[in-house]
Amino acid sequence: KNEVEQSPQNLTAQEGEFITINCSYSVGISALHWLQQHPGGGIVSLFMLSSGKKKHGRLIATINIQEKHSSLHITASHPRDSAVYICAVPGGGADGLTFGKGTHLIIQP
Amino acid sequence: DADVTQTPRNRITKTGKRIMLECSQTKGHDRMYWYRQDPGLGLRLIYYSFDVKDINKGEISDGYSVSRQAQAKFSLSLESAIPNQTALYFCATQQGRGEQYFGPGTRLTVT
């Protein structure tokens, strides 16, 4: 079973700061998912990546397959970025996901 | 309209009762999943389905059963609910090995 570790568990930052959330996993994978869960509970897929880097707006995700490590970066952070960010990898059968415990991010104005 | 819907959104039930959570999708995806989320434990896979004729157990299937009534519908049943099944339940869909799309969640409380 793939073990997924995220760090930090909690992060509070000021508006405008550059944010980095890290994810490491134990078994080689075909792709890694980054998800966002807002206080209301809904989960949204941010990225699915298998190599290199992807960018969407102020969000950037990178992955190093050899190191079994991925990072999610937020540039020019804003209070609306406050959410739980979850890293997940296939491993639960039919690509059912195995999840990290999430990083609870708070951006203060 | 949402692509993945779940009903009910909130449910309080008593120990020993049978309860069904329903999931419907309009995305035409072949794969569907049920996950539960507990504070401090994160999300875990309960059951998954490739198609109507394919049902598979996930990491924590004990105490649950599922039915894939059609490609678009995947239901999760708790035959005899117990308090430690209190959690937030999510349905998700996926086409092949693409991104997964999550429903809004069902908050279940078993008293």
Residue numbers in B near A30 (CB within 8 A): 97
Is residue A7 a contact partner of residue A19, using CB atoms and an 8 Å limit?
no
Give pLDDT, residue B79: 92
**What span, in angstroms and rounded, lies between the C-alpha atoms of B55 and A105?**
36
Instruction: Summarize pLDDT for A19-75 with one digit per residue, the tens.
Output: 999 999 998 888 999 999 998 779 999 999 999 999 999 999 999 999 999 999 999
For residue B96, the Cα-to-chain-centroid distance in whole angstroms is 19
Is B99 close to A48, i.e. CB distance below 8 A?
yes
Amino acid in the structure at residue A3: E
Is A93 close to B42, i.e. CB distance below 8 A?
no
Is residue B60 a contact partner of residue B36, using CB atoms and an 8 Å limit?
yes
Give pLDDT, residue A93: 58
Q: What angle do CA B25, B47, B13 make, to 5 degrees?
A: 80
Give pLDDT, residue B41: 86
Is residue A9 a contact partner of residue A101, using CB atoms and an 8 Å limit?
yes
Instruction: Summarize pLDDT for B8-19 with one digit per residue, the tens.
Output: 999 999 999 999
Instruction: Summarize pLDDT for B84-107 with one digit per residue, the tens.
Output: 999 999 999 999 888 999 999 999
pLDDT exceeds cutoff 70 at A84: yes
Instruction: Summarize pLDDT for B50-83 with one digit per residue, the tens.
Output: 989 999 999 899 999 999 999 999 999 999 999 9
Residue numbers in A near B56 (CB within 8 A): 93-94
DSSP class of residue A30 equals S
Is residue B110 a contact partner of residue B85, using CB atoms and an 8 Å limit?
yes
Q: What angle do CA A4, A95, A1 make, to 5 degrees?
A: 40
* Residue A2 binned pLDDT confidence (cut-offs 50, 70, 90): confident
Tell me the shortest Cα–Cα distance from B41 to chain A, in angstroms.
Answer: 6
Is B59 close to A92, i.e. CB distance below 8 A?
yes
pLDDT exceeds cutoff 90 at A106: yes
Q: Chain-wide mean pLDDT for chain B?
A: 94
Beta strand residue intervals within B1-111, DSSP E: 4-7, 10-13, 19-25, 31-38, 42-51, 54-57, 64-70, 73-78, 87-94, 100-102, 106-110
